[in-house]
Every structure is written in C-alpha cells, then in structure tokens.
Chains A and B, each alone.
Chain A
Amino acid sequence: MFADLHLSDIIASVTAGRDEYDLAPLFAAPLRDPTAIAYRHEVFRDLENQRAIAVVRQFADRMQGVRRQLAGAANVHYQHERERWFLDAADTYAEAVGELASSLADVDLHSRGLTRFRDHLAGYVASPAFAALIADTERVKTELAGVRYRLRVEAGKVTVTRYEPEPDYGAEVLAHFEKFRQGAGKTYPFDVDRSSAMNHVEAAILDGVARQQPDVFASLDGFCASHRDFLDPTIARFDREIQLYVAYLEHVARIRQAGLSFCYPDVGRTRTLECRGLFDLALARSLIGDGGRVVPNDLELHDPERVVVVSGPNQGGKTTFARAIGQLHHLARIGVPVPGTEARLPLVDHIYTHFAREEHVEDLSSKLEDDLRRIHAILDQATSESLLIMNESFSSTTVDDQLFIGRRVMRQVLDRGPVCVVVTFLDELASLDPAIVSMVSTADPEAPARRTFEIVRRPADGLAYALAIAEKHHLTYPSLKARLDR
C-alpha cells in the first residue's frame, strides 16, 4: 500500500535529514480516534505560526548538538577530554532549554499539547537545579577559556610552557609579502587532524597543561560529578515528537511555495467524501523540483455513491488522481494537514491498494491468477469503512475477460461497501450501478497532445480525446454549427 500510493517516497522525503528522530513509524501509524487527530491538528495550527516553529527549530538544532557532544563524552577515554565533552553538552542543553522557555513564553499557543509542555518547561527552568546547572557551566567554561599555553615541537620531543606573548610569525610572513597582493587571493587551510579522537601525544600535552594549571581542571572534575544526569526526560521526548510536526510543515511550506494549498481535513464518521484542490504530494514534490506544474482536482462522493471509476486518455493523470485520494486518506488518518483547499472524509479503518504489477508476457496467466488472489484477499478483509484503490487491475488478459472479471469484482466491491477508486480504461465499468461515479481525464482542446491532468466528473464516453482534436479544427458540433450559420 505504501509503495503503491508513493507514501514511502513521501515519508522518506518528509523525514529526510532527520534519521536520528526515527520519525517514519510516527508517519506510518494511523490514529484510530478523531479526537487524537484533532489534538494533532491543534499543535499543527500553533506551529503554523512562524515564530513558534522558528523557536522549536532552533531548539532542535541545539539539542542535536547536545546529543553529538554526549556521544563524544561516551566515546573517549582521556579524562580531561571526556569531561570537556560533558561540560559542553550541558552548556548547549542549558542554552537550548533556557532559550526555548523564554521564547515560548512570548508565543501565542492554543493547543493542549503545546500549552501543557510550556507549563512543564516553565516549572523546570525556575527550579534551583536548573539555576545551579547554568551557574556552574558558566564558571567552568570561563576558567577553561582562559587557558593558553606554548608548544615547541622538535624531533622526538614536545615542550609545553606557560603562555608568553610572542609575535605571530605567520602574520609576519604575510605582512612582508602583502605589498604584492593584487586581489582577494585564496587561503590554504589544512585539515591537519581529521581524527575525531584525541591521541596520546595530545593527551600528554593536555596533562602537562593541567599540571601547570591544576585549579581549572579540578573545577571541571567537580562539575561532572555534580551534574551527572542533567537531561530532563520530558524535554527529551518533546524534542523527538515535535519533529513530526516540524518535518511535515517544512515539507508543506516547500510545496505551498509553488502555489499549492493544504488544509485541515474534517475527518469523522461521515459517508461523504469531498475534497477540493487535491493533488499527489509525491508528484508535487518532484515536479516542483523540476519546475513543473501540478494540476489539482476535485472529488465529491455523496451517499449512496461509493465508487469512483476513472477512465479517459492515457497519460492523463488517472493513476496520479487515484494515488492522491489514497494519500489523502492516509495523511488524514495520521492527523496532518492534507493537500487541497478543503477536505471532508471518513476515518477509514484500512486502505487497500490493488495495482497492476509489472508485466511479464511469458507468465500472463500466473499474473492474472496473482491479481485475482490479491483482490480476493482484500475483499475478504475490507469493510464498509475501508478504502480500496484499484489501478489497471486485471489488465493482463483479453478485454472480454477483463470486462467479465471487472463486472464481477465491482459487484462484490459494491456489496462489501468500501469507498473505492478504480482506474481503468474499461468505460463500461463506469455505468454498472448508481453507486458508481464516473470521472474522466481530459485533454486541452487547443493542444490535444498536451496533457491537462484535469479529472472531471463526466460520463465515460470514450470520446474526450477525439473531441479535443475536433475542437482544434472547429469541427465539434457547436463550432461547426456556428461556421455553417453565416
């Protein structure tokens, strides 16, 4: 289902660059309860405020730093090095939390989720423990920043001495030749030491420095002992879960820039499906990247209508449309804003997809058999609360066979009662039952070769494409009549 609807792509691109938060499971797990969806919508609406999301984003950046630094502390074994990683992590953390608390205080929040967290944060920041963390961090940092020393490197020997001011020889050399400089010129930075860990010569030098300035390093020791568990568990959880919102909103923002809309769907116990300005989110992302244009479509399905049959010219956006409907339902179920200007839809219990698999001519029969087995399994499980998307199903046989199978399967679908979208080139399926709505892909009358990707509600007459060509030559009925009526 995820692959058929390109949801895997969408989730991958929404969560790209956020592997550390392990967000994919959050985007895959649907909510079962409309109130849970509403709870997320509230948080999303709060974060649509640019100030709010900027505050969260800055916090997230800093917390990433904290994790990096703690990982540093965990991975090294020289004491002075490890302790400094730990100090820096605590420092970054204190700054992140303090900044978040003070910024959130000025942000207009309405969601239950965020206001509760803000209350927790305010209490935490006001606690004596947090005050002590900040004071100690600052003191030790300042002491370490004052440490300077001199090195003399000779063959087989390093000498560490206390700092004395001496001329910067590199600068002297540069100054001597500065007179020749004609323009900006480039520099030659060397990444001399790429190793992430301290080596034993560095450690020995650091020991020497520590011996020459023992008080500073004693302070560092003391800091680490007294702030062993500085990370607040609630704050850590917030740091991960808020990324669901930030990641998705960033994705939304990119796509909105191309003029497309998102909305908060009305999801609930309804038998009506109504959406305007719907588009395929995966396609939108890749088209926007290439400067392409995305065509939004509308869909309405009122009880007792349950099935949409999409037919019309190839390459007209039929599959994309079907996919967009599937995506819409999944996105609505995880409580995020959905593509479109407005949407009302039922909270479905499951989304099933039945897409034609890649064809291999030599085993047509086994493919058809596979197709049938898959639809059989789906129809076994699907309920009237489900969504089923069928795309060019059973295309691996003759048209007569397809019609036969199609009619039978449609009948069973109607009996089961799931909302169903069927992409097919069999026009006949569109008029089987009053519960079936027919939609067709269209072409631009002025340039029939160009695909418009517009899908409109219209009887499937198999003529849409031919009519477009006729119109170009002013040979459609109204045009021809007007030309003859002189």
Chain B
Amino acid sequence: MRVLLAHRDRDLDLETQLPPNADALSGDLGLDILFAAMAAGDRYLFTVARSTVFASLDDPAAIRYRQAVLADCLEHPDLVRELYGIAVEAIDRERRAWGYASRYPDSLLRRSVDVLGQFVGLLRRLREIGETHAAGFRSVGFRRLFAEIATELDDAYLKATEDHLRRLRFSDGIRMSAELGPANRGTGYVLRRRVGKPGWRERIGLSEAGAYVWELPPRDDAGAQALAGLRSRGIALAADALARSTDHILSYFKQLRAELGFFVACLNLRDGLVSKGEPLCLAEPLDPGRPAIGAQGLYDVCLSLSLGRVRAVANDLDADGRSLVVITGANRGGKSTFLRSLGQAQLMMQAGMFVAATAFRADVRRGLFTHFKREEDASLRSGKLDEELGRMSGIVDHAQPDSLVLLNESFASTNEREGSEIGRQIVRALLENGVKVAYVTHMFDLASGLHAEGDGQALFLRAERLSDGRRTFRVMEGEPLPTSHGEDIYRRIFADEA
C-alpha cells in the first residue's frame, strides 16, 4: 500500500538531502518565516515543509498532480486534518506502547500484539472516513488512496488480522522444525503452523506414534530454564515477524503523516495569509524550453507574514520570453523584496503549493540559486570580493542549464567599473548556457550596458520613486537611471543638517 499524495509514482522522501544551497536560499529568501508559518509551532511540520519545498518538482505534470491534491485539501481542510490526526495518533500510540524491551522475545511479542491491535482500530477508522467522504474528493491522488484502502483493508482482511493476533498467543504450545547445526545443536528453527486436525491419539491425551517426549522433572530448575529458552526461540521467530509487521504498518502511517503533513502545513499557511486578506493562487507551471514569467499581485510572502496585519506591496510582472530580468532603481525601493517574491513564487510553484500572488505562471526551472549581498550595507572591505566570487563559483558548480539564478547587488564589493565587468561576463556566460537570471543592481555601468545590448532577451524594471522622492515599494518596467538616489536617504537620515 502506498500513500502517493505528494507524487504520483513515488513516496515523499523526507530523508533526502537538502540541496547544498539550502541555507543560502533560506537566508536570502527569508524562508524560515515561511516554514514557521507552515509548521504553526509543530517541529515535525517544519521539517516536512522545509524538506518538501526544497525538493523542487521540475515536471509540470507532477506539479499539477500535487496541486490537485492540495485543491482537495483546501476544500476539505477538516477531513484532511482528521486523516493526519489518525496517522499522528498511530505513531504516538506505538511510541508510547508499553516497553521497548526488544531484548526479550516475550515482551516484544506482547508489545507487537498490543500495538497491532490498536493499529487495526485506526486502520478501520481510516477506511470509514474514506467510505463516507471519498466522493467529495476529486484529485487522482486522493481517489486512488481511498480506493486502495477500501480494497486492501476490507472486512476479510481485518478479520484475518484478528485471527493472527489470537493465534500468536500460542495457547496450544509452540511448533517448530529444526536441523542439526554445529555441535549437533538445533539450528534453522522455523515456526510451524499445524495443518489438519489432531489425530485420535492426541485427542485422548497420548503422544503421536513414534514421538519422543521429554517431561520436565519436578525441581529441575536448570531444565525449566532450558525449556523456557527453547520456547523463546519460537517466540523470537514470531516476535520478529510481528515486530517487522508492526513496523511495516507504522511505516505506512509515517508515510501518511509525512505526505498529509505537507498539505496540513499548506493549510496552516493559507489560514495565516487569508486571515489578513492576502491572496493566494495555484500557479500555472509551464513546460521548460521557453523562459516565461507572468505574475499579478505578486508579493513577498515572508515579508507579509512578518508584517502582522499590514499587507505586503504587490507587483505585476510580464517577463515572457525574457531570460534576464534586471531590476534597478531607488535604494530601499523594494528591489530586494521583489526579487525575493520572485524566488519564493518559483519555489512554491515547484513544490506544488499555492503561490503568494493573484496569478502566477512560469516555466519550471531545475535548481534555484541566490547570490545576495551578505550585509545590507556593503563596505569595501578587502577580501569581500574574494568571498563573493567564491560563493558565485559554488553556485556555478551546482547550477544546470535551466536553473534560475537570483543576483542581488552581486559584485558590488569592488568599484563599479570592475564589478560591472565581472557581472557582465558572468551574466553573459549564464544566459548563453540557458540559465535564467534576475539581477538586482545599482551598478549603472552594468545595467545600462546590458540595456544597450537590447536584444529583447532582457526585461528592465525599476523601483518606483515618486517625484517628491517618496518610494511606493513597487517595481515597474523602466530603463536604468544613472543614480540610485542614495542621496535621498542620506538627506532623510541627516535631515537636520540641511
């Protein structure tokens, strides 16, 4: 039995390694805020959210499969939370089941029988929810899951399970077969189930014909111990089989918890955003091949989550056919925020989540990389360019032809001429290799140079600045201008000087 809610054809794998740039992505895009909102205080959900968001899907069909499951979840949040609750309860009960004494076959067997008995009840509840509500679910994922539960966990199966649990009490003694091993001691013990009915000799209390019977003499303590040891062998075989079986069911519940957990985390996020009036949408993933981004009402979800009741500024973007987006303009004008929202949207879309926008579509990308200036205030410390280029080199180590690279004030730690030249060469190389680049820069030399090339591949945006110097934090189409208006900020900060 498989869960298959997150992927059509494989399990959601929480053990998978985070991409090498996960920390950089988290830091640069502020993703810990996103994961925290998805977790809603639950450490497990935090892990699920983080690992799933980082394990980007790069096939539009796979994204749509997960989006469909998510759509069902958005429609039936209470049922989904209930199903999730069953998985959590199963895992919890197993964890709290008496003893972990796997050193003793007897106690392990008793524990397994106990846990399995509880699992049977939870499996039955799972089936009942499916029977009652399956019709309201439309996604392939949920319909398959409910159908499988209905057939695999039918009455006959559950009854057979209870029979096993009863037989495993061994009220009739333990039957085994054995062979002679080293030292002629018994080996290759196999637990056996009797077939057929006991013969007449046995029914009247005699042993089988040709049988050899050894009976424990009174007060033979060593013999009693040896007999118990022999019994333990049989119990151990049963305990192993049943403990493994319990683990199998547990692993099913764990998979269920992981995959439902991701959707519950999405529900948590939705609740947080919708309550403050932020819009959400299911994105339209486009096949790779032609660069495209179309966004309306795109906002920085992490910024919004940290703003309390205030909503974040939203932007529109039409970058169809553009593999380079250059964002210039006023300092503190919302350029970084915009770049972040772009990265978040791409990542959330490729996690099969909803996106923080009223509408969003983009071609899928393999690998998202961020190269952000480390401090907001770039000082010209020596060794800084070295550090920056080291990071850039690390990105190039991992980037693929259809990756998306977000550059934020990159290579600005040297003078503008040198920084621009480095930037130009890097951007050109990336573009020629099919990498999509979004670049926030205040280096006019670089931006105007790219603009002058004007081959239609590039889109130029500018952070809006009103004529009185105020910022709207909106990003509009516009060519690079020779100043970034740092002077404005200076004047505001040093207002009393003037």
Chain A positions within 8 Å of B, measured between CB atoms, are 72, 76, 80-81, 83-85, 88, 144-145, 147-163, 166-174, 176-183, 185-190, 192-193, 198-202, 204-209, 211-212
Pick the 9 closest A-B CB pairs, nearest first. Answer: A208-B212, A177-B245, A201-B226, A154-B173, A84-B184, A190-B236, A182-B251, A169-B193, A180-B248
- Per the bound structure, the CA–CA distance linking A161 and B177 in Å amounts to 9
With contacts defined as CB atoms under 8 Å apart, how many contacts are there between chain A and chain B in the complex?
211
The listed residue (B212, B213, B229, B241) touching A193 by CB distance below 8 A is B229
Residues of B near A81 (CB, < 8 A) are: 183-185
For B153, give the chain A residue with the smallest CB separation: A179
Are A199 and B226 closer than 8 Å at their CB atoms? Answer: yes
Q: Does B417 contact A (CB under 8 A)?
A: no
Contact (A153, B174) CB under 8 Å given A174-B245, A193-B229:
yes
Are B227 and A193 closer than 8 Å at their CB atoms? Answer: no
Quote the shortest CB–CB distance from A86 to chain B (angstroms).
Answer: 10
Contact (A151, B178) CB under 8 Å given A170-B190, A176-B245, A202-B185:
yes
Residues of A near B215 (CB, < 8 A) are: 156-157
Are B244 and A159 closer than 8 Å at their CB atoms? Answer: no
Are B248 and A190 closer than 8 Å at their CB atoms? Answer: no
In the complex, given contacts A153-B173, A161-B212, what are 15 additional A-B residue pairs having Cβ atoms less than 8 angstroms apart? A72-B183, A151-B176, A151-B230, A156-B216, A157-B213, A159-B211, A167-B195, A173-B241, A174-B245, A179-B152, A180-B249, A180-B251, A185-B248, A190-B240, A201-B223
- Per the bound structure, the CA–CA distance linking A177 and B165 in Å amounts to 12
Quote the shortest CB–CB distance from B204 to chain A (angstroms).
Answer: 15
Q: Does B164 contact A (CB under 8 A)?
A: yes
Residues of A near B208 (CB, < 8 A) are: 159, 161
13 contacts between A and B (CB under 8 A): A88-B183, A145-B179, A152-B173, A153-B173, A156-B227, A158-B230, A161-B210, A169-B167, A174-B244, A178-B248, A188-B240, A199-B225, A202-B230
For A211, give the chain B residue with the smallest CB separation: B212
Are A187 and B227 closer than 8 Å at their CB atoms? Answer: no
Are A170 and B177 closer than 8 Å at their CB atoms? Answer: no
The listed residue (B167, B211, B216, B226) touching A202 by CB distance below 8 A is B226
Are B241 and A170 closer than 8 Å at their CB atoms? Answer: yes
Contact (A157, B238) CB under 8 Å given A176-B161, A181-B248, A198-B185:
no
> In this complex, which of A72, A151, A167 has the most chain B Cβ atoms within 10 angstroms of its Cβ?
A151
Chain B positions within 8 Å of A, measured between CB atoms, are 1-2, 11, 102, 105, 108, 152, 160-161, 164, 167-168, 173-180, 182-186, 190-195, 207-208, 210-216, 222-227, 229-234, 236-249, 251-252, 254-255
Quote the shortest CB–CB distance from A129 to chain B (angstroms).
Answer: 25
Quote the shortest CB–CB distance from A184 to chain B (angstroms).
Answer: 10
- Per the bound structure, the CA–CA distance linking A187 and B193 in Å amounts to 21
- Per the bound structure, the CA–CA distance linking A166 and B252 in Å amounts to 31
Residues of B near A178 (CB, < 8 A) are: 248
Are A150 and B184 closer than 8 Å at their CB atoms? Answer: no
Are B213 and A148 closer than 8 Å at their CB atoms? Answer: no
Are B195 and A182 closer than 8 Å at their CB atoms? Answer: no
Residues of B near A189 (CB, < 8 A) are: 240
The listed residue (B195, B210, B237) touching A170 by CB distance below 8 A is B237
- Per the bound structure, the CA–CA distance linking A170 and B182 in Å amounts to 24
Residues of B near A181 (CB, < 8 A) are: 248, 251-252
Are B160 and A176 closer than 8 Å at their CB atoms? Answer: yes
Contact (A176, B164) CB under 8 Å given A158-B214, A193-B233:
yes
Are B192 and A168 closer than 8 Å at their CB atoms? Answer: yes
For A161, give the chain B residue with the smallest CB separation: B211
- Per the bound structure, the CA–CA distance linking A80 and B190 in Å amounts to 22
Contact (A183, B251) CB under 8 Å given A84-B183, A169-B238, A193-B233:
yes
Quote the shortest CB–CB distance from A210 to chain B (angstroms).
Answer: 9
The listed residue (B161, B193, B207, B231) touching A159 by CB distance below 8 A is B207
The listed residue (A84, A150, A151, A173) touching B180 by CB distance below 8 A is A84
For B237, give the chain A residue with the smallest CB separation: A170
Are A144 and B222 closer than 8 Å at their CB atoms? Answer: no
For B251, give the chain A residue with the smallest CB separation: A182
For B245, give the chain A residue with the smallest CB separation: A177
Residues of A near B192 (CB, < 8 A) are: 150, 166-169
Residues of B near A153 (CB, < 8 A) are: 173-176, 227, 230-231, 234
Contact (A168, B226) CB under 8 Å given A159-B211, A190-B236:
no
Residues of A near B234 (CB, < 8 A) are: 153
Residues of B near A88 (CB, < 8 A) are: 182-183
- Per the bound structure, the CA–CA distance linking A190 and B104 in Å amounts to 8
Residues of B near A206 (CB, < 8 A) are: 184-186
